[in-house]
Amino acid sequence: MQNKTVFIIDAGNSSIKVARFERDRLMQVERFPSYDLSQIKGFITKNEGQYALSSVLSEEDTDEIVAAIPGILLLETDAKINLKINYGTTNTLGMDRLCNAVYAFNRTKTDHAVAVDIGTCIKFDIVHKTDGYIGGSISPGIQLRYNALNDYTGKLPLLSNKTRSELVGTSTNLSIQSGVMNGINAEINSTMEQYRKRFSSLTFFVTGGDAQNFDILAKNDIFADENLTLIGLYEIYQQNA
Q: Which of 10, 96, 117, 125 is catalytic?
A: 96
96 is catalytic: yes
Distances (CA, A) of 150 to 11, 140, 173, 185: 27, 14, 11, 21
DSSP strands (E only) in 12-165: 15-22, 25-33, 50-55, 73-74, 112-118, 121-128, 132-140
Please name which of 207, 224, 58 lies closest in space to residue 120, comparing C-alpha atoms: 207
* Torsion sign across C-alpha atoms 152, 154, 155, 157: positive
Q: What does the alpha-carbon distance between residue 170 and residue 172 come to, in Å, rounded to a whole number?
A: 7
Which amino acid would we find at residue 234? Y
Q: Are 107 and 89 in contact (CB under 8 A)?
A: no
Q: Which residues are catalytic?
A: 96
